[in-house]
Amino acid sequence: MDIVSDIAKWFSSSPSIRLTLMFIVLGLFAIFLSRILIKLFIEVGYLRGSYRGRTPVGWGEPAKLIKTPSSEDGIEKIRERLLNIPNISFHYADKDNITNYYNDYFREPTVENFVKEATSEISGDLKGNIPKFLEAKAGGKNLTKWISTIKLPDTSLNGMFLRYQREIINNNQVILGLEIADVELSDMTEFEKLVDILEKDFDFKIDTKALDKGRTKLKGKTAEQTISKLEDASGWVLVEGNFQISVAKEGFYKCTYSHPINSYLPDSNKDITISFLIPKNGIEPHVAGNYLESIDREIPLTVYGKVWQPLNKKQDIWELQITPLAVY
C-alpha cells in the first residue's frame, strides 16, 4: 500500500509524466484502431475488386477472393454446350421454315458461287481449271439447262437445324441467356460479406429490420436489371430450362418457364415467365405420349424461336412469349 501511495503522490506531483503517459495510451489505442480499420478496408477492397490479384500482408489470414457469377459466365457455358451438341431429338419442329431458312442461309450462296465460277471458266475468263466432268457435260454450251438438274446431297432436318443453329450462334445472331438471373449479384455478395465480417470479426450486430431493408433494396436492383433485359428482348432467342406443360385452348400445349429472378422481386404477386405454344398435332410421335402424361409437370426443354411479346411493365405484362421454330 505504501508503494502504491508513493506512486500516486509521484504522479500527482508530476503533471508532465501524467500527460506523457496519457499520450502513450492514446497512441497505442490509435494504433490498435487503425489496424482494425485497415484490415476491414482490405476485406472490402477485395470485394470491390480493388485488390484482386494481390495478397495483403499482416493481420492474420488474408481476405479471400470472391468470384461472383455473372450472366456472361453463364451465357458462355450455354454457348459452348450448344455449339457442341452432336444431335438432337425434336419434340416439335416447323419443318418447312427450318428447310427454308437453311436453304436461304447456306445453299443459295453456295450454288450461286459455283454457277458463277463454272460459267466464267466456260466463257474463257479462267482456263485450265475446268473439271473433266463439267467440260464433258457442258461442251462449251449454255449451262442453264444442266445447272437446273444439279441435285445437292440430301441433309436430314436434324442436320439442317444443328448446322443452322451453330452458324447463327457463331455469328451472334440469336439472343442467349434470357433464362439467367445472376446478372449482377456482386453488390449483394459484397453486402452479405461485409455483414459477416462485422458480426464475426468485430461482434457488431446490425438490426434485422435494417438488414432486411438493405437486402430488399439490392434484390430489387438485381431484378430491375434482368427485367430490363427481358423487356428489350426481340428477334431470335434460344432458351433452356424446366418448362411446365399445360393444356391451352384450341389444341395447343403451353410450356411455361418460371424465371429464377422471381425470388428477387420485392412484390411476390408478380410472376415473370417465358412461354411458348406448340400444337398438339405438331408434337413428334415418339414424345406425344410423354407430353400427354406430363401435364402440370416440369420437363427440361430447349426452344429456338422468335419473341412474340416481351415483358412490358407499363402494361403489367410479365410473360415473355416466344413463337417456336424448334423445341427439343
Grid coordinates representing 89? Answer: 431429338
d(CA 241, CA 255): 10
d(CA 70, CA 77): 11
Would you tell me how many other CB atoms lie within 10 Å of the CB of residue 94? 19
pLDDT the model gives residue 160: 94
pLDDT the model gives residue 20: 67
d(CA 10, CA 13): 5
pLDDT in 10s for each residue of the chain, 328 residues: 565 565 555 556 566 666 666 667 676 666 666 556 555 544 444 444 433 333 333 334 433 333 334 566 688 999 999 999 999 999 999 999 999 999 999 865 455 455 555 555 545 444 444 444 444 555 555 555 545 555 556 789 999 999 999 999 999 999 999 999 865 566 667 777 877 887 777 777 777 777 777 777 777 777 888 899 999 999 999 999 999 999 998 899 999 999 998 888 866 678 999 999 999 999 999 999 999 999 999 999 999 999 999 999 999 999 999 999 999 9
Domain assignment present for residue 234? The answer is no
pLDDT the model gives residue 190: 75
Which residues are within 8 A (CB) of 72 and not within 5 positions of it... i.e. 6 or more apart? none
Domain assignment present for residue 247? The answer is no
Residue 184 phi, psi (nearest 5): -145, 85
Domain assignment present for residue 325? The answer is no
Domain assignment present for residue 8? The answer is yes
Q: How far is CA 114 from the centre of its chain?
A: 40
Indicate the SS3 state at residue 310. coil
- What domain range includes position 7? 2-48
Domain assignment present for residue 38? The answer is yes
d(CA 237, CA 81): 16
Domain assignment present for residue 17? The answer is yes
Pairing of strands 273-279, 252-258: antiparallel
pLDDT the model gives residue 289: 96
Largest Cα separation within the chain, whole Å, is 131
Domain assignment present for residue 40? The answer is yes
pLDDT the model gives residue 81: 93
| Count of structural domains, the chain | 1
Which residues are within 8 A (CB) of 219 and not within 5 positions of it... i.e. 6 or more apart? 188, 264, 265, 266
* 63 and 56 Cβ atoms separated by less than 8 Å: yes
Domain assignment present for residue 235? The answer is no
Residues paired with 301 in a beta bridge:
241
